[in-house]
Amino acid sequence: MNTVKRFVKNTGAAFLSQVAAPSCSFILVLFIARFLGVSGLGNFSIVLSLFFIFQTVSSLGFTHLITREVARDRSKAGKYLVNGSFIGFLFSALMAGVMCLTGYLLNYSKDTTLAIYILSFCLIPGALSLICESICRAFEKLEYVSIAFIIGDLFKVTIGLFILFRGYGLVELVTVILGSHLLTFFLSLYFVLRLTGAPVYKIDFSFCNWIIKAIPVFAFIFIFSTLYWNVDVIMLSKMKGPIEVGFYSAAYKLMNACKMIPMAYLTAFQPVIFRLFKTSSEKFKMACTKSIKFLFFTTLPIVVGTTILAHRFIQLFFRNAFLASANALSILIWTLVPFSIVLVFAYALIASNNQKIDLRVNIVGMLCNVGLNLLLIPKLGFLGASIATLASICVFLTLQYTFISKNLFKVDFIEATGKPLISATLMGIIILLFSRHINLLLLILISALVYVLLLVVLGTFSESDIHIFRGLWKKESGLGLSQSQSSSGYKPSSQ
């Protein structure tokens, strides 16, 4: 299978997983909102935000490190599986204890605190699942990742809905989430063993020592990135209470659902550029710049359409009780565009062994987000948190590109964004004209069709774009990417 076809297959597999995860979570959130109310949704979001922070800490940044190293030399997969799992188990168990202590010190309600205790046990299977997922990514077998996570998500939403319909609450719901994490881990382990065969079940302490020395930069990237995306909920909960968190979370969940397209693409993109940086700098640059162009014209119509139709989306999914969330959604949805480009730049930095630069940018972005939240939440509540998120990710993107443009590659943003901006503007005018007269689903379909036609008429796609597309059906790879399997011995990349 040529690289373009393999990339598209992996993007499709990742897309299914990315669709399943937010879809299942979104369905669960809808029913939590209806059965437990605004306050119940707020408490659920508080528990999950705290869990995501500690999950990131317990993962130690394994995802990027293992994917990068195994993608370069697959013969090390078994060694990373055994030794990485050993380290991951010990550290995630430690973090579970710290999460319980944090839940106790934050002094939430009794049920919320108990839910934090229960969810802390998810850290262990969650960390081990991430190690398995990283190896599957390195082998570019994302269908295995998708199957494991989709089954886990379906289990969570099916049993979770049963729990809600039977009248149970937050504590029982997080117990179901614990069960879904265990199921996902065992399935992930089964698939990764199919790829690697039975590894040598022996702990190599010298190798563990190298991993421990290599992961701090990756771990801190994950930690500060997760703090960036979750600290606003914790701050909002302490400054304004669970009702404000509930309104904010409704908008945030819709924004997260829209992330599935860029996330699916970039999940497949990650191992490709890790390998390309080693084999061809020109193809590495082209893959990055083409990806930015593709993600921009894909996410822009989503952003424009959601901004105009925010009230209708909130009313459709959350009903009138959550209409206050519409203004937050109109702001938060705009993070989708810089978010997609930020991820491309982050993977480019890691592929080129510049992860320390990415760490510094993450730290500045997180501090900027915290500072803006401290300034804006007391005055504007959840709208202030929304503005802080958007403003800080723009700062994040600016800092990344300042380094990348000087040291790796330049992006012609005018060429990449001009025609999509014209197309999206005209599409937005059509939505405004007919938003009150046409069924929402029909309006979305018409708007999407108009946008695509305008892109084609304006000549948005270059000859190289068309060449890559044709490569899906031809034997040659549109990017000319090679499936290099060369081994460089035990010479881990410098940090």
Quick one: residue 61, left, alpha or beta (phi over 0 = left, psi -120 to 50 = alpha)? left
Token pair of 283, please?
A: 């193809």
**Angle at CA 164, nearest 5°, toward 163 and 165?**
95
Within 10 angstroms of residue 19's Cβ, the number of other Cβ atoms is 18
Helix axes 205-239, 355-380, angle to 10 degrees: 20
pLDDT score of 331: 95
- Predicted confidence at residue 303, as pLDDT, reads 94
| pLDDT confidence bin for 489, thresholds 50/70/90 | very low
Percent of the chain whose pLDDT exceeds 70: 88
pLDDT band of residue 216 (cuts 50, 70, 90) is confident
* Separation CA 189–CA 209 (nearest Å): 23
Q: Flag whether pLDDT at 179 surpasses 50.
A: yes
Residue 330 is given by DSSP the state H
Give the pLDDT band of residue 142 (cuts 50, 70, 90).
Answer: confident
H-assigned helices in 309-335: 310-318, 325-332
pLDDT digits (tens, 9 = 90+) for 243-262: 888 889 889 888 888 887 78
Compute the distance between CA of residue 297 and CA of residue 424 in angstroms, rounded to an integer.
Answer: 9
**Which residue in the block uniquely carries the two structure tokens 């398995």?**
132
How distant is the alpha carbon of residue 7 from its chain centre? 18
In the chain, what percentage of residues exceed pLDDT 90?
31
Q: Taking all residues of the chain, what is their mean pLDDT, rounded to a whole number?
A: 83
Rounded-to-integer distance, Cα 251 and Cα 101, Å? 30
DSSP state, residue 169: -
Predicted local confidence at residue 12, as pLDDT: 61
Residues 6+ apart with CB under 8 A from 197: 78
Whether the per-residue pLDDT at 420 is higher than 80: the answer is yes
Confidence of residue 332 (pLDDT cuts 50, 70, 90): very high
42-54 mean pLDDT: 85
Q: How many residues does the chain have?
A: 495
Q: CB-hemisphere CA count at 13 Å for 288?
A: 32
When pLDDT is cut at 50, 70 and 90, the band that residue 31 belongs to is confident
Q: For residue 152, how far is the Cα from the chain centroid? A: 17
Largest alpha-carbon pair distance within the chain? 68
When pLDDT is cut at 50, 70 and 90, the band that residue 301 belongs to is very high
**Which ranges in 333-381 belong to alpha helices (H)?**
336-351, 355-380
Question: What is the model's pTM?
Answer: 0.69
